[in-house]
Chain A
């Protein structure tokens, strides 16, 4: 540590390093370096003398004789290795930490929508998975814009998301109605876009009572842990 200090401040020996220098506790290389610097630096010499004087003064503080006898008259009552109070405080702290963690995890999952997604995802439509796994239904060439949007493997860039993709992206569109693009891509039809509401099929669970209950429980555990600790100290 002192070596780095010395390297950073080559101009003078730092006070903290001087203390270790006086006790011969610097690394040998730092000792030599400090000694060499001290020979030609009046300022560091003055610092060294002041520090030496301080240590000498501290050593002049008398060692006081005891004014009474501290021997024990009788055997002290033995103390249990792990007092009940300490165990109780430890358990309360553990419970508080666990409940806060559970509350935070649950609240985070709830707010991010992960819980709703897991619990309310409806079964996928029969046709959709097979369509997405096999060859995509190419309807784009019938549209006027299709040739410009074709990729190298023949898949149109503007292909609307399949039904399975739509299910995965469902929660992002929960609050808004969506236009079903496939409705307007059937050849020979001029159909108006069909309005669908994805959230209608996936009602979200009301999880706020669980959040509230977990929050209250965590708060109670924390208060109990703090109260127990204060009681133990008193």
Chain B
């Protein structure tokens, strides 16, 4: 799993791939897609909570990125790509039809979009698997209760492990804004989880 994200961070020939992509090289761009698709998909999924929608959005992000490669003038390509993804998530959540298409119930009842159905469970006992499944569902529900900007900050920093600085670039806001949004998001999640403490693992029950 980590390789999926580490690949995006190292990217030995990334600059060359970007240059070739800007010249219209589809193969070069597709190598970038393979590097970063996990990152974009995970952000989309955690923001929207629906697998099919996250897949569509991920595809749109890469199409949009290819179209607007000319606007990338060097720097952090990963952050640039995540900014496109974050904006796509914002736009999607802002659109009026979201409430009808993606409901919380649909997300939690649909096995295909179960956030834990793809957990590596070989080492886990059936009981542990069920507990993990329930925990992941609770966390995903909790994420959906947050305002979208706070959710973005929480997903980028706490779920995907970005630094404040990288998250600030990806969100297009100052580091101080990331800090305050993250503080509020964590505080809200803490309250949400406190009300469901019976579902928390023993070592992290508070």
Residues of A in contact with B (beta carbons under 8 Å apart): 1, 15-20, 23, 25, 46, 49-51, 53-72, 74-76, 78-79
Contact = CB atoms under 8 A, between A and B. Distances in A.
A50 B189 CA distance: 10
Contacts of A66: 4, 37-38, 41, 58
A2 B158 CA distance: 21
Interface in B80-95: none
B24 A19 contact: no
B186 A54 contact: yes
A58 B135 contact: no
B158 A23 contact: no
Contacts of B68: 79
A67 B45 CA distance: 12
Given A19-B182, A53-B206, A64 B41 contact: yes
Sorted from nearest, which 4 A-B pairs have the closest CB atoms? A19-B183, A71-B30, A58-B158, A50-B206
Interface string B48-91: 00010001001100110011100000000000000000000000
B37 A55 contact: no
Contact of B67 (A53, A64, A78): A78
A65 B7 CA distance: 13
A56 B204 contact: yes
Contact of B118 (A65, A69, A75): A65
A71 B40 CA distance: 13
Contacts of B1: 62-63, 65
B26 A15 contact: no
Contacts of A56: 204
A20 B179 contact: yes
A19 to B, nearest CB: 4
A71 B189 CA distance: 35
B96 to A, nearest CB: 9
Contacts of B59: 70
A184 to B, nearest CB: 75
Interface string B169-193: 0000000100110111011011001
Contacts of B194: 50
Given A25-B179, A58-B139, A58-B154, A15 B118 contact: no
A48 to B, nearest CB: 10
Nearest to A26: B179
Interface of B: 1-2, 4-5, 24, 26, 29-30, 33-34, 37-38, 40-42, 45-46, 51, 55, 58-59, 62-63, 66-68, 115-116, 118-120, 135-136, 139-140, 154, 158-161, 164, 176, 179-180, 182-184, 186-187, 189-190, 193-194, 200, 204-206
Contact of A16 (B40, B120, B160, B183): B183
A114 B168 CA distance: 53
B159 A64 contact: no
A165 B144 CA distance: 71
B38 A65 contact: yes
Interface centre among A16, A17, A70, A71 (most CB of B within 10 A): A70
A57 B159 contact: no
A62 B68 CA distance: 31
B24 A75 contact: yes
A127 B37 CA distance: 89
A79 B189 CA distance: 40
A69 B164 CA distance: 30
Given A15-B183, A72-B62, A72-B66, A62 B116 contact: yes
A53 B204 contact: yes
Contacts of A15: 183, 187, 190
A70 B67 contact: no
Given A50-B190, A57-B204, A65-B1, A23 B164 contact: yes
B4 A65 contact: yes
